Structure 1
Amino acid sequence: MDLKDKHIIKGEIADYYLEDGILVSLSKNPRRTVDSIKKNVALVKEITNNKPIPLLIYLSNSPVPDRETREFSTTQLPIIYTAMAMVSKPGLSKFIMNILFSLKKPPIPMKSFTDDKKAKEWLKQYL
């Protein structure tokens, strides 16, 4: 992944850039809180002009957020994203999906990948 030509927007829990109508998130690893998620949602809305778009997220190993943060985060997803493709080492995204959505379906289409090219291809249907 070559970032030198990208306009990177720095955030507390992730850095972002836009590519071909897709928001790319370079996840960082601090523990997520309701406050950090609120700040991140505001940042994403600023980047996307308040229009939900597909998200390609490169996951990092961050601590599991508390229940309140997970529930709040779930309510925010459809407001800012049309779909989410998670790219990680095998097993990590599946683990995160199981934690976040073990009891209910994700609020937007989500899929995990180990190959970012396949993730981008899948996201294109949500542009």
Structure 2
Amino acid sequence: MTLHFRSDGILHVNVITEQEVTADQVKETVDFTKNILKGERAPHLITTEKPYVIPNNEAREYLASRHREEISCADAYILKSLAQKIIAKFYIRINKPRIPTNFFTDNDSAINWLKTFI
């Protein structure tokens, strides 16, 4: 994963993998982000390089937990495939993220939505 703190205050997390995203990867990214933000929270734009990359069940549970609440005030995911859209519905209904979470098919719409949390 790569992290880029944009000038508008949005943290862009780009997932670069061809495998399922694991809870360990998410935990590592959250810990790293805590060090960058130093107690602050920022809206997150989450993108993937590959359309079939999805988080596994444990990763989704961690993403929806209080740990993410410590670093993010809102999450916008860019979806590129039907598989990602199906997992997104499960994530909202089953995992029930603790922070505002929305799904988009384009960056501009996601960024406009995230700016309402800055």
Q: TM-score, normalised by structure 2?
A: 0.79
The offset of 1:98, in angstroms, is 2.2
Unmatched 5+ stretches in structure 1 = 1-13
Deviation string for 1:47-84 (max 9, x for gaps)? 2223111001113432541x444323321221211001
User: What residue identity is the alignment partner of 2:44?
Assistant: L
In the alignment, is the contact (CA less than 8 A) between 1:87 and 1:93 conserved in 2? no
Per the alignment, in what secondary structure is the counterpart of residue 126 of structure 1?
coil
Q: How many residues align?
A: 113
Contact 1:90 1:114 in 2 (8 A): no
**Structure 2 equivalent of residue 5 of structure 1:** none
Whether 1:71 and 2:61 are equivalent positions in the alignment is yes
8 Å Cα contact 2:79-2:105 kept in structure 1: yes
List aligned pairs for 1:1-127, cutoff 5 A: 14-19=1-6, 20-29=8-17, 30-59=19-48, 60=50, 61-65=52-56, 67-75=57-65, 76-89=67-80, 91-127=82-118
Question: Could you tell me which amino acid in structure 1 is paired with residue 89 of structure 2?
Answer: N
Contact 1:37 1:73 in 2 (8 A): yes
Q: Is the 8 A contact 1:85 1:111 kept in 2?
A: yes
Rg: which structure is higher?
A: 1
* Alignment CA distance shift 1:32-1:114 (3 Å): closer
What is the TM-score of this pair, normalised by structure 1?
0.74
- Higher relative CO (CA 8 A, sep ≥ 6), structure 1 or 2? 2
> Which of the two has greater strand per residue?
1
